[in-house]
Structure 1
């Protein structure tokens, strides 16, 4: 599949809302909004994301279809990446390709990422893109209604090329 990024369009938001409403996806992401059905809060969140200085948020396309989003946000020296891919597309390399494309757009380092410690798929995506384990923490995961272990990963150096796997 051809994976690309573009700026977020208003028409993408209902797709993102539907993706975020998937219970299995929310469970894996773990750190989600308290009430995933709150459309008003969802709209306010996305309005803030799209207008905040220092936030680079993109729609992920696969063969032209909206399949998720990816972003970089936060203060310099502490910026984090985040991404969400529709569960129907998991296991096809789309998250790795989308995150790689985002990292190519954002040259600053270090960049950080967080994932539930049991989210092996997301951790593998991050590692394939050059992130390495930095520390572990515990945090409240709204999607699970409990405090869980979380890994923090860091990307310190520029990638060696689009789609490169530094572990290879």
Structure 2
């Protein structure tokens, strides 16, 4: 599949909303909004992300179809990547391709990422892109209603 990134269009938002409300995806992501079905909060979050000077969020396309989002946010030296791929596309290399594309756009290093410690797929994607586990923490995961272990990963200069 041909994977590319482009600016987020208003028409992408209903697709992202549907993706965030998939129960299995929501559980795996763990660190999500309290209520993913709250459309007003979803819209407010995306309005904020799309207008923030320190955020670059993109739509992930596979063969022209909207399959997710990828972005980077935060201040220099503390910037963090995030991505979401529709569960129907898991296991096909799309997350890895999307993250590699994002890393081509975002040249600042270091970059950080976080994942639930049991989210082996996401950790594998990040490691394929040069991120390395730098710490473990515990945090409240709204999607699971509990504190869980998470890993913090870092990408240094020259890692890609």
Shorter-normalised TM range: over 0.9
Q: Which runs of 4+ in 1 moved over 4 A?
A: none
Contact 1:80 1:112 in 2 (8 A): yes
TM-score by length of 1: 0.94
Structure 1: any 5+ residue segments left out of the alignment? Answer: 161-168
Contact 1:138 1:149 in 2 (8 A): yes
Cα distance per residue 1:84-142 (max 9 Å; x no partner): 00000000000000000000001010000000000000000000000001000000000
Contact 1:104 1:159 in 2 (8 A): no
Counterpart in the other structure of 2:15: 15
Counterpart in the other structure of 1:50: 50
Counterpart in the other structure of 2:150: 150
Structure 2: any 5+ residue segments left out of the alignment? Answer: none
Contact 1:107 1:158 in 2 (8 A): no
CA distance in 1, matches of 2:133, 2:52: 28
Task: Report deviation, 1:159.
Answer: 5.0
SS of the aligned residue for 2:35 comes to coil
CA distance in 2, matches of 1:105, 1:158: 15
Paired residues, number: 160
Superposed CA RMSD in Å reads 0.7
